[in-house]
Amino acid sequence: MARACQITGKTAMVGNNVSHSKRRTKRRFQVNLMTKKFYLEEEDRWLTLKVSAKGIRTINKKGLKSALEAAKSKGYISNY
pLDDT of the chain, 80 residues: tens digit per residue: 589 999 999 999 999 999 999 999 999 999 999 999 999 999 999 999 999 999 999 999 999 999 999 999 999 999 98
Nearest Cα to Cα of residue 59 among 76, 38, 31, 30 = 38
What pLDDT score does 8 carry? 97
Q: Give the residue extent of every domain in the chain.
A: 13-74
What pLDDT score does 2 carry? 82
Whether pTM > 0.95 for this model: the answer is: no
Given 3.30.70.3000, 3.40.50.360, 2.30.170.40, 3.40.190.290, which CATH number is that of 13-74?
Answer: 2.30.170.40
In whole angstroms, what is the distance from residue 50 CA to residue 53 CA? 10
What pLDDT score does 1 carry? 54
